[in-house]
Amino acid sequence: MVRNSSTASEILAVRPSRRGFLIGGGAVGLAGLLAACGLGGGGEQGAAGSGKGDIRALFMKQAGYSEENINEMVSAFQKATPEIKVSADFVSYEALHDKIVAAAPAGTYDVVLIDVIWPAEFGSKNVVADVTNRWPASWEQQMLGGAVATPQYDGKFYGVPWILDTKYLFYNSAHLQKAGVDAAQLDTWDGVLDAARALKSGGVVEYPLIWSWQQAEALICDYAQLLGAFGGSFLDDSGQPAFQQEGGVQALEFMRQTIVDGLSNPTSTQSLEEDVRRVFSSGQASLALNWTYMYGLANDPAESQVPGDVQVLQTPSGPSGRPGVNGSMALAVAAGSQNQDAAWKFVEYVTSQQVQEKYALSSLPVWESSYDDPAVVKTNPAVVPQAKKQLGDLILRPQVESYNAMSQALQAEIQLALLGDKTPQQALDDAASKASSLLES
């Protein structure tokens, strides 16, 4: 996200001296960071520590719990556990992965927030600690299935689920009313297309749909949700790419067609979730997929021009159902942490049912029983009922070590199809052949 891209400058911040620039240029900056990583020597193995002292945690400032929420949690923990001192850092989602990687060898962080697509990579590369032995058996029953799967890879736990999220369908009820569209129609993707056509022909908005289809992970999240609706899957049972087959191709054809028909805003291919929120909140779109957090902000008069008109539904169903993309995140203990016991205590505290319920407006709890608690339902009465239906039906993106590289290949090819430079079939075939070679190596 643009909001906090300063990390990029931090990453390449080494300013060469004048002579340095002549012999090496600022590439040295990158080289310097590369040099700091890997090849032994640089890092130390983690240690359990005394369970006391200072710990440092890395969070994101974006969807989910706000910076303010997290700072409150930290001070509440501090009050209850004065022997552990926590300092929290925040970066944007787009910078989170690379910050974790760059900080890993120095053991800078004790606790890091990880996305559902990273446990395979971080677990097998020893960036985060295996906490299977610390996991109480009861949690697996008490947490929702999608949450339990989030920090899991190869039968091991690499963290504790904390943000449980998927993409919901948001609509502008005033727009629908103007176009004479019944919200019940939004139950299927076909119905969504009909609604979009009515909104367009009725002149309510020029482009009824807005998506986060920038060349980024956000694109894969939208694609995953459609892939599931059309009955496709990322990988087959033998672990080979399968998205270039029927359902996967249909999902991409669907996406491309909405652009050709002028139903999707052409800025979609340059938009992240925050851009979607902005366009939707300014009343320039009527329908959008986004994470839970958009509900609160799009209905907030300070942030939105359409407060009160924003409604939320479960993701529409396609020919093969309506799975949501598992967009959850977990808190992990860094493998290089010298104070892993203290780090674990902090993780246990902030992921506890009591703390999660308190902040349910920002992010829904991972604990199953919370969804029947009237106090929790009251915090977010519009989203909780939809979440209750949706969170039992989530699909994971591939849990493979080389996920990032595979995702990048898929993002680029999907964009070529969206821009009309390749047919959906051709683009996905090309992505599949790249993915196969990545999965082999």
Partner 1 sequence: MAGSGGGKGEGRFALLLLLPAAVVVFGVVLYPVVRTFVVSLYDITSPMPGSYPFVGLDNYVKVFQDSAFYTVLGHTMYFTLVSTFLELTLGIAVALLLNAPLKARWLWRSIVVLPWALPTIVNGALWRWIYNGQYGALNGLLDTVGISDTPVQWLGTPFLALNMVIVADVWKNTSIVVFFILAGLQTIPDDLYEAARIDGASAWRGFWRITMPLLAPAIAVVLILRTIEAFKVFDIIYVMTGGGPASGTQTVAFYTYLQAFSNQLFGYGAALAYLIVLAVFALAMAYLRLLRQGQMAGVE
Per rule CB under 8 A, is residue 39 in the interface with partner 1? yes
Provide, rounded to whole angstroms, the least separation between the CB of residue 13 and partner 1. Answer: 10
DSSP state of 317: B
Site string for partner 1, 364-393 (x = CB under 8 A): ------------------------------
**Does position 240 bind partner 1 by CB under 8 A?**
no
> Given the rule CB under 8 A, which of 124-132, 154-162, 320-328, 379-387 is the region that contacts partner 1?
124-132
H helices of 202-245, in order, are: 217-229
41 binds partner 1 (CB under 8 A): yes
Length of the chain: 441
Contact 396, 328 (CB under 8 A): no
User: Smallest distance from the beta carbon of 81 to partner 1, in angstroms?
Assistant: 29
Instruction: Please give the Cα distance from 354 to 358 (Å, whole number).
Output: 6
The number of beta carbons lying within 10 Å of the beta carbon of residue 237 is 7
For partner 1, the binding residue among 235, 377, 395, 405 (CB under 8 A) is 405
Tell which residue, 273, 220, 211, has the closest CA to residue 435. Answer: 220
Q: In what order do the strands lie in the sheet with 209-210?
A: 209-210, 287-290, 168-172, 310-313
**Considering beta carbons, is residue 22 or 184 the nearer one to partner 1?**
22
Choosing from 64, 161, 241, 336, the residue that interacts with partner 1 (CB under 8 A) is: 336
Q: Is residue 439 close enough to count as binding partner 1 by CB under 8 A?
A: no
What is the CA angle 207-213-218, rounded to 5? 135
**At residue 284, what is the residue type?**
Q
Which residue number, 21 or 68, has a Cβ lying nearer to partner 1? 21
Shortest spacing between CB 129 and partner 1, in angstroms: 11
Task: Indicate the helix (H) or strand (E) that contains 280.
Answer: helix 273-281
- String of contacts with partner 1 for each residue 72-111, x by CB under 8 A: ----------------------x--xx--xx-xx------
Q: Is residue 100 classed exposed, middle or buried when 0-12, 13-18 and 19+ CB atoms within 10 A define those classes?
A: buried
* Binding residues for partner 1 restricted to 174-193, rule: CB under 8 A: none
Closer residue to partner 1, CB minimum distance, 72 or 98: 98
Supply 192's token pair: 């969504």
DSSP symbols for 234-266: SB-TTS-B-TTSHHHHHHHHHHHHHHHTT-B-G
Task: Give, as ranges, the residues between 260 and 319 that touch partner 1 (CB under 8 A).
Answer: 265-267, 269-270, 275, 278-279, 282, 284
Candidates 71-79, 172-180, 295-303, 408-416 — which segment interacts with partner 1 by CB under 8 A? 408-416
| Nearest residue to 33 via CA among 5, 14, 58, 18 | 14
Among 89, 416, 426, 439, which residue sits at the site for partner 1 (rule: CB under 8 A)?
Answer: 416
x/- contact string, 209-228, with partner 1 (CB under 8 A)?
Answer: -----xxx------------
- CA distances for 290 relative to 196, 222, 272, 369, angstroms: 17, 9, 10, 25
Q: With residue 80 as reference, give the H or E element that holds it.
A: helix 67-80
Q: Which stretch binds partner 1 (CB under 8 A): 20-28, 150-158, 165-173, 351-359?
A: 20-28
**Rg, the chain, Cα only:** 22
Shortest separation between residue 184's beta carbon and partner 1, angstroms:
29
Name 299's Cβ contacts closer than 8 Å, sequence gap at least 6. 307, 308, 310
- Nearest distance from C-beta of residue 419 to partner 1, angstroms: 6
CB-nearer residue toward partner 1: 35 or 47: 35
Chain positions contacting partner 1, by CB under 8 A: 2, 5-6, 8-9, 11-12, 14, 16-17, 19-28, 30-32, 34-35, 37-45, 94, 97-98, 101-102, 104-105, 121, 125-127, 214-216, 265-267, 269-270, 275, 278-279, 282, 284, 335-336, 402, 404-405, 408, 411-412, 415-416, 419, 421
